[in-house]
Structure 1
Amino acid sequence: MPEPAVFHRVIVRAPSEHTTSGARMITPPADAFDPLHLRITPIAQVQAGDTLIGTVSPHYDTLLNPLDRAQWVSYFSHTSKPQQQDARPFDPQHCHWCTHNAHVLGVGAGSGHWTVDGCTTYRPDSLLLVVPRDLATP
């Protein structure tokens, strides 16, 4: 019997230089990725060669109360490049940045958190906006 498909309700808007509150944001260049190739991927499933485009975060109101079950996308403001390694369980001993994140976030090895290239630390339930390696344009 096939495994059931997991669907994530996400609000994906085109990159914009301003938020709804009017704050200015740096966005990726218009030709940074093909929107048809984007996938929402759990952090644990990020693989070497995937290109991370942004994070998918809970949708909150101004008082930080969750709004239904929707999610919103925060695009990375830098030029994305393919990941060199698969996502890995968080290890605070990996490097100085990981040690810093462990201190600031209050998480440690075995916490369920994950890291990717650059040692960005993500919660266990994090979703990322990804161009999978098999869909990347050469």
Structure 2
Amino acid sequence: MENKLKHLEFIQSIITRMNTNSFQIKGMSITITAALLALTASDYNILYVSIVYFSLFVFWGLDAYYLSQEKGYRELYEEVRRLTEDNIDFNLKLKKEYTEGNNSWNHTLLNKTIWTLYSLQAIIALVLILVFKHYVK
């Protein structure tokens, strides 16, 4: 039983790391967007606007990737949980089917919690950019 528990701990550690990465990406996305919008407010420049949206798409993609991997490792955790002690091999490699379907990057990208956060950021940025364009000269 000790090997099984250790293997599950390894997998749980990876799940926690993926979740932490996702959380940090959300924070960085908001911080960088706010900083670029502050620059845009002081000196309207189309380059800042471009960087805001480019960074939003990059963070959106990275966040979806980490969440997709987290879901895959949750599947691996469930598989290992059902194994007998004799079948524990400490394999941490994800099977392809663990990151397909609902766990795929594409599906996770359009997950309502992810999609809502980044689209809301994009809409708020657009509104502020339009306001800045009108008032900053």
Of Structure 1 and Structure 2, which has the larger fraction of its residues in helix? Answer: 2
Q: Which has the higher contact order (CA 8 A, sep 6+)?
A: 2
What is the TM-score normalised by the length of structure 2? 0.22
What is the TM-score normalised by the length of structure 1? 0.22
Q: Rg: which structure is higher? A: 2
